[in-house]
Amino acid sequence: MAVYTDVSADELEAFIEGYDIGKLLSYKGIAEGVENSNFLLHTEAGYYILTLYEKRVAAADLPFFLCLMEHLASRGLTCPQPVHTRKGDTLGTLAGRPAAIVTFLEGMWLRRADARHCAAVGEALARLHLAGADFAMTRANALSVAGWRPLFESCRERADEVQHGMGATIGEELALLEHCWPRNLPQGVIHADLFPDNVFFLGDRLSGLIDFYFACTDTLAYDVAICLNAWCFEPDFSYNVTKGRALIQAYRKTRALSEAELDAMPLLARGAALRFLLTRLVDWLNVPSGALVKPKSPHEYFRKLRFHQRAKSVRDYGVEIGELAS
């Protein structure tokens, strides 16, 4: 969490004149999102989120993200909506950075999710996959299997600084996944980062999804595997089969998972754990001194990877045998 770029009221007022949202009444840097600088704006027309895209987000990808949010919303998914300038643009420049204003979404993210919440996430993820089916743009997933080796090479020599044996374990896992990665499963738009802080609830009702800045075109079931990692482990890193079962079964009620997708789940979950392990490891080993952001520990995903390595089938994730046929 951090605001990387500060914006003066003068600059922001001039920027907002391009939009039909009235005069600026206040703005606050918000301590959410580690990739971009986010501000909550209050204008005469209401509340909005202003995002300045920092260097980790490629400017060329921004039209994909913004068009996707519009597309998904037009299909009934609740997510932030890019606001158009009077000229019709959704992307501008502020403080030397690409910038966009999106609508403000009510709701809170859950610090402690239970199985009902996991079910709501599974259903929302399936709805996202269906809503994205006719989205015309594509974006390769730079953080899928082909992207893992370069990440690993950048940190392999120092991985054991974090934990003895981590480097060797990652090397073996990576070689296995490069060989066995499921490549013929159904593809489409995936969120690729649907962690608890990107899912809003009002009471027990899921009220919206945010932060589409990792969204891409990839294996749909891989998105399920990311959610199993993000939602279904306890603080002690034990896997909660009740939550996993709730998430997968709710997903399947909205979008069927084929036998091939279900069979691939342990491998996909290993890949998802490795992907977050690698990016956390790189961040952990490369904290600039005086950094405003304390990176997340890589240990969590090392532990989760160990769980997935032992899983033999999707049954180990809470899906029971009889259900597979249904």
Choose between 58 and 292: whose C-beta lies nearer to a copy of itself.
292
Enter the DSSP assignment of 47: E
Q: Determine the residue type at 238.
A: S
Binds a copy of itself (CB under 8 A): choice among 10, 136, 321, 325: 10
CB of 111 to a copy of itself, least distance (A): 4
CB of 288 to a copy of itself, least distance (A): 11
Query: What backbone phi and psi angles, to 5 degrees, belong to 39?
Result: -130, 140
**Cβ contact 121:127 at 8 Å:** no
State how far the Cα of 89 lies from the Cα of 71, in Å rounded to an integer: 15
Choose between 142 and 293: whose C-beta lies nearer to a copy of itself.
293
Stretch touching a copy of itself by CB under 8 A, among 22-30, 219-227, 228-236, 251-259: 22-30
State the Cα angle at 83 between 81 and 84, rounded to 5°: 135
State how far the Cα of 110 lies from the Cα of 324, in Å rounded to an integer: 30
SS3 254: helix
Decide if residue 159 touches a copy of itself (CB under 8 A). no
Query: Total binding residues for a copy of itself by CB under 8 A?
Result: 37
Cβ neighbours for 3, distance < 8 A, ≥ 6 positions apart: 29, 30, 31, 37, 38, 39
**Cβ contact 306:170 at 8 Å:** no
Choose between 211 and 261: whose C-beta lies nearer to a copy of itself.
211
CB of 114 to a copy of itself, least distance (A): 11
CB of 273 to a copy of itself, least distance (A): 24
State how far the Cα of 133 lies from the Cα of 188, in Å rounded to an integer: 6
Q: Return the residues of window 39-78 that contact a copy of itself according to CB under 8 A.
A: 40, 42, 47
SS3 214: coil
Q: Is 32 exposed, middle or buried (0-12, 13-18, 19+ CB in 10 A)?
A: middle
Binds a copy of itself (CB under 8 A): choice among 133, 140, 146, 287: 287
Max CA pair span of the chain: 63
Decide if residue 294 touches a copy of itself (CB under 8 A). yes
CB of 103 to a copy of itself, least distance (A): 12
Binds a copy of itself (CB under 8 A): choice among 31, 60, 321, 325: 31
Decide if residue 168 touches a copy of itself (CB under 8 A). no
Stretch touching a copy of itself by CB under 8 A, among 53-61, 84-92, 109-117, 148-156: 109-117
Q: Return the residues of window 87-106 that contact a copy of itself according to CB under 8 A.
A: 104-106
The site for a copy of itself (CB under 8 A) is made up of 1-3, 6, 8-10, 12, 24-32, 40, 42, 47, 104-112, 200-202, 287, 290, 292-294
